Every structure is written in C-alpha cells, then in structure tokens.
C-alpha cells in the first residue's frame, strides 16, 4: 500500500504570523499551494512539508497523499479500521479521514 507524500497540517490562529515563523525556520511557501488570502499555505523545507490552515479545522492532522485513496480506504476497512469520513465518489480526487488508537486524525488526500 502506497501512502504517498507526508505532511503535517497545522491548525493555526494567525496565518500571517505562522507563515512568518516557519519562514524564519527555513520553510518556503510552495507556488500554487494556497495563499495567505485563502487562509492556507503549504510550505516546504528540504523534504519536510507542512500545511498552515487558519480556521479550517480544530486539531493538527497527519496528512498523506496516496495516488489511489480508494485502494487505501479499502485496505483500512479490510483490516478493521473505522473510517471517520469516507471518500466521496467513485473516481478522481478525494479524501478519507481515520483516527489512530490515540485519537490523532489522519487524512488520506488524493488530489
């Protein structure tokens, strides 16, 4: 099973302040991956990616970008993992959300 790229999606209070902080740590906003005006940006430093999201969700989220989210969802279901938010539609982009045993949110997002 291929989970794809990994990033940490951070729920932030102030996108401008958070973006500036992570730029100080050496992260750069990725072109065409959100904007301060849209209240979300994806940033990268080497192989590390984070997403900053203001007002979109309450908790931080572990995010994976598989090439086939439906196959991953089927694998999880077959192994007894409860799907909190299932993939919508039969094809194309989509996402599903699961919780690990400690309640941490994991989003599998195919775009």
CB atoms within 10 A of CB 83: 15
The one-digit pLDDT tens for each residue of the chain (111 residues) are: 899 999 999 999 999 999 999 999 999 999 989 999 999 999 999 999 999 999 999 999 999 999 999 999 999 999 999 999 999 988 889 999 999 999 999 999 998
- Parallel/antiparallel/unpaired status of strands 83-85 and 94-99: antiparallel
Q: Which pTM was predicted?
A: 0.85
What domains does the chain contain, in order, with CATH numbers? 5-110 (3.10.180.10)
* CA pseudo-torsion sign 74, 3, 36, 16: positive
């Amino acid at each position: 099973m291929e989970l794809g790229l990994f990033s940490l999606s951070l729920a932030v209070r102030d996108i401008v302040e958070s973006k500036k902080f992570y730029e100080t740590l050496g992260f750069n906003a990725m072109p065409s991956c959100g904007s301060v005006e849209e209240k979300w940006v994806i940033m990268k430093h080497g192989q590390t990616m984070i997403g900053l999201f203001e007002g979109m969700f309450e908790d931080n989220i572990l995010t994976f970008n598989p090439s086939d989210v439906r196959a991953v969802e089927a694998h999880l279901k077959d192994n007894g993992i409860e799907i909190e938010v299932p993939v919508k539609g039969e094809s194309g982009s989509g996402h599903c959300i699961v919780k690990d045993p400690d309640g941490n949110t994991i989003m599998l997002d195919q775009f």
